[in-house]
Amino acid sequence: MLLLSGLVLADCPATDAQLQETAATALQARGEAFEPALSAVEAQLQCVTEPLPPSLAATLHYLAALRAFRARNLGIVVDHLQAAQLADGAVLDAVLIDGHALSDLAAEAHGRTRPERVVLTLQEGRYVRVDGRVATTRAAGLPAVIQILDPDGAIAWTDLVGGEDEPPFLLLAPPPPIPLYREVETWGVLGGLVLSGTAWGISLGTRAKMSRLAAESQVGGPHPEAESELERLSRRTNTWGYVGQASTVATAGFGVVLVVSRW
């Protein structure tokens, strides 16, 4: 499940500077004041409208480690401390106290093997920032501060997720199916264009042939076979002319419906 989810969002939107200030307050909180302070960080994190730097991602991991430490979830503590070290180790160096149990757990995290990277599959056009950096992968099994950005750079989603969690918007979404009526309209327009072009081509070509045959008949005098051929060509011209007119009207109708339905 998401570590920081299901919270009521307040003071949205929030900037990077505002989140840093709220996180600094949580770092200073002691005793019963810590949980409300961290809840404020969680709520504001989901409201962020700016890319977060690695240093702030490391701070968020450290705060999550503190919560897990208070709950005695030491495995989660080490996970967050390792994620914080990978994001910005200087942040941990600044907040850890020598001799404190968290320092020992941080040493354990530091001694861990660097995790493999898992490829992130994004929706087309979107990109992702992991722990403050543009990335196409994330550390396998470790929590991460994930930001999903739209093609224009706008923040679509931000949260701190667990090592096995997958945030929304991240999986490749299949393109929505084209409604049947849209397919009918599209193929109607394409088919009408082909039929209309063919019909008018045959009609105009036959008309040109009639003109040549009529000119030849005038020069050579009346000829029964020529008159019969002219009648046949005339019928052919008229037939394909009607087909061309009908298909042009039908194509225009499909085109109007297609444009209106997509408007």
Per-residue pLDDT reduced to its tens digit, 20-65: 999 999 999 999 999 999 999 999 999 999 999 999 999 999 999 9
- Assess whether 190 and 129 both reside in one domain: no
Rounded to 5°, angle at Cα 98 from 95 and 104:
95
Are 145 and 193 in a shared domain? no
Contact between 22 and 41 (Cβ < 8 Å): yes
Structural domain that includes position 234: 180-262
Residue 1 lies in a domain: no
pLDDT tens sequence across 207-217: 666 566 566 55
Q: Which helix (H) or strand (E) covers residue 240, if one does? A: helix 224-262
Q: How confident is the model at residue 263 (pLDDT cuts 50, 70, 90)?
A: very low
Label residue 187 exposed, middle or buried (CB < 10 Å: 0-12, 13-18, 19+): exposed
User: Whole-model pTM?
Assistant: 0.62
Do 150 and 71 sit in the same domain of this protein? yes
Residue ranges of E strands in the chain: 117-119, 127-130, 133-135, 137-139, 144-149, 155-161
Q: What is the pLDDT of residues 175-234, one digit of tens each?
A: 455 554 455 555 555 665 665 666 556 656 666 665 665 665 555 555 556 566 656 656
What's the rounded Cα separation, in Å, for the pair 169 and 109? 30
Sign of the CA dihedral with 81 first, then 83, 85, and 91 last = negative
- Residue 5 in domain: no
pLDDT at 3: 38
pLDDT for 195: 59
Residue 137 or residue 244, greater confidence: 137
In a domain, 225, yes or no: yes
C-beta of residue 62 within 8 angstroms of C-beta of residue 82 = no
Position 35 scores a pLDDT of: 96
- Whether the pLDDT of residue 142 is over 70: the answer is yes
The last residue of a domain, from among 161, 192, 219? 161
Q: How far apart are CA 66 and CA 68, in angstroms?
A: 5
Q: How far apart are CA 107 and CA 78, in angstroms?
A: 9
DSSP string over 139-187? ETTS-EEEEEE-TTS-EEEEEEE-TT---TT-SPPPPPPPPHHHHHHHH
Same domain (yes/no): 154, 191 = no
How confident is the prediction for the chain on average, in pLDDT?
77
Q: How far apart are CA 76 and CA 108, in angstroms?
A: 12
Q: Are residues 81 and 145 in the same domain?
A: yes
Q: Which of 67-76, 116-125, 144-153, 188-197 has the lowest mean pLDDT?
A: 188-197
Instruction: Please give the residue that has the higher pLDDT: either 160 or 121.
Output: 160
Q: Which residue has the higher pLDDT, 248 or 60?
A: 60
Q: Report the SS3 class of residue 14.
A: strand
Give yes or no: residues 155 and 100 share one domain. yes
- Please tell me the total count of domains within the chain: 2
Q: Is 130 exposed, middle or buried (0-12, 13-18, 19+ CB in 10 A)?
A: buried
The verdict on residue 51 lying in a domain is: yes
Same domain? 46 vs 100: yes
Do both 208 and 125 map to the same domain? no
